[in-house]
Amino acid sequence: MALFTPAASGSPLTARTAPQKKGGNIKAAQALARQKALEKKSKKYKLPLGELAIFTQQLASLLTAGLPLVQCLEALQDQTEDPCFRIVIRDVRMDISQGNSFSSAVRKFPNSFNTLFVSMVEAGEASGGLAEILGKVAGYFESTVKLTKKVKSAMTYPIAVIGLAVALVNVLLIFVIPVFAAMFADFGAKLPLPTQLLIDVSDFMKAWWWAVGIASYAAWWALGKFTATPNGRRMRDSFLVRAPIFGNLIHKIALSRFCRTYATLIRSGVPILRTLEIVSAASGKVQIEDTCEEIAKHVSQGGQVSEVLATNAFFPPMMKHMVKAGEATGNVDGMMNKIADFYDVECEATVAALTSLIEPMLIVFLGVVVGGIVMAMFLPIFQLGAVAGGLN
């Protein structure tokens, strides 16, 4: 009976094993490189507000069920599909396991957990009602996301139509009108002024379309840089609030966010000066930032919030009287929540009205633009037809 002997170094078995081992090393190196890239990206990962709302609601539910915080985070880490956010949750969980507080752990990831979330976690840790406060934060985030989605869905249609109109006009100017221009050149007659102007614009776009693209990008970049400066932000916010069609909606959204954030923080036990700092940072509007700074100074001197709002034209009279009534009854947060609910309903009504108003306006806009181009190009043909009819 022959005994089995190991294959020699040059046998086919060894030849097959070497490439397999090499391929395994390559896959392991690739996996390690991907993991390092995710680790680096997670440090500055910007978590969408909708995902943060889901995370906060799930964490509040698990804490309410009586699970320890570390075990809650471990469960959320396992079920999270986002690889970057999974690493963030893992690091937060490990930080808490080492004896640090939840607020100090999430503060290390400011792009994933905003200032409002961190401050509410601090308040929850101080009061011992972390689950309840996280539930309130989740409700605030969900209402904010809901309103944002409605506004974005209302803006999608006009932006798409305007973009389509711009593309269509460029196609006509660069490709279609030159054909008509060559045909009109054979006539040898003087063209009508609208036709000549359109042909001149077409010639310019055909020769300098790249310069127009570069100039448009440069103007957009310069505008972005300017609006990033303090004076630029002030001018931008002032213009947005006073814009003819969307200004009223932007104003109501800013008021709703101010009231909702203020009420959520005050109801959770956050000190008023800290509340004003968070409201200012979360507002995104210079007018509210200035108001919060003024309120903080006034409250520090023993004044009330309604006294500052009464002298500020950015806040409507109804809001000023309701805040004053809330201060008189000791229910400022309840009044602020009612104001926020009112402006949320107003925003939804304004979005619906704008949607119904924008559709006919866009149809008229497209008709004027495209119809004007067609009429300008057919004017010479109409004139030739009239001349020919007169000769007959």
Of the pLDDT bands very low, low, confident and very high (cuts 50, 70, 90), residue 392 is very low
Summarised one tens digit per residue, pLDDT across range 11-59 is: 554 555 555 555 567 777 776 777 777 777 778 888 888 899 999 999 9
The secondary structure of 287-320 as a DSSP string is: HHHHHHHHHHHHHHTT--HHHHHTT-TTS-HHHH
Distance (Å, whole) CA 210 – CA 116:
45
Cβ atoms of 3 and 49 within 8 Å: the answer is: no
Both tokens of residue 244?
């003819």
Q: Which residue has the higher pLDDT, 33 or 281?
A: 281
Q: What is the pLDDT of residue 153?
A: 80
Q: At 241, list the tokens.
A: 């609030």
- pTM summary value: 0.74
**CA distance readout (Å), 135 to 57, 77, 102, 333:** 6, 19, 16, 16
pLDDT of 101 strictly over 60: yes
Sorted by where each starts, the structural domains of the chain and their CATH numbers stand as 49-113 (1.20.81.30), 140-392 (1.20.81.30)
Q: What confidence score (pLDDT) does residue 96 get?
A: 92
pLDDT band with cut points at 50, 70 and 90 for residue 391:
very low
CA distance 113 to 47: 7
Average pLDDT on 123-131 reads 84
pLDDT for the residue 269: 83
Euclidean distance between CA atoms 291 and 298, whole angstroms: 10
Q: How far is CA 18 from CA 8, 10, 11, 14, 24, in A?
A: 14, 11, 11, 6, 10
The confidence score (pLDDT) of residue 71 equals 92
* Alpha-helical regions (H) of the chain: 12-42, 49-64, 69-79, 83-97, 102-106, 115-127, 130-171, 177-187, 193-227, 230-242, 247-267, 272-283, 286-300, 305-309, 317-329, 332-391
Question: How far is the CA of 341 from the CAs of 135, 140, 253, 264, 317, in angstroms?
Answer: 18, 11, 11, 13, 17
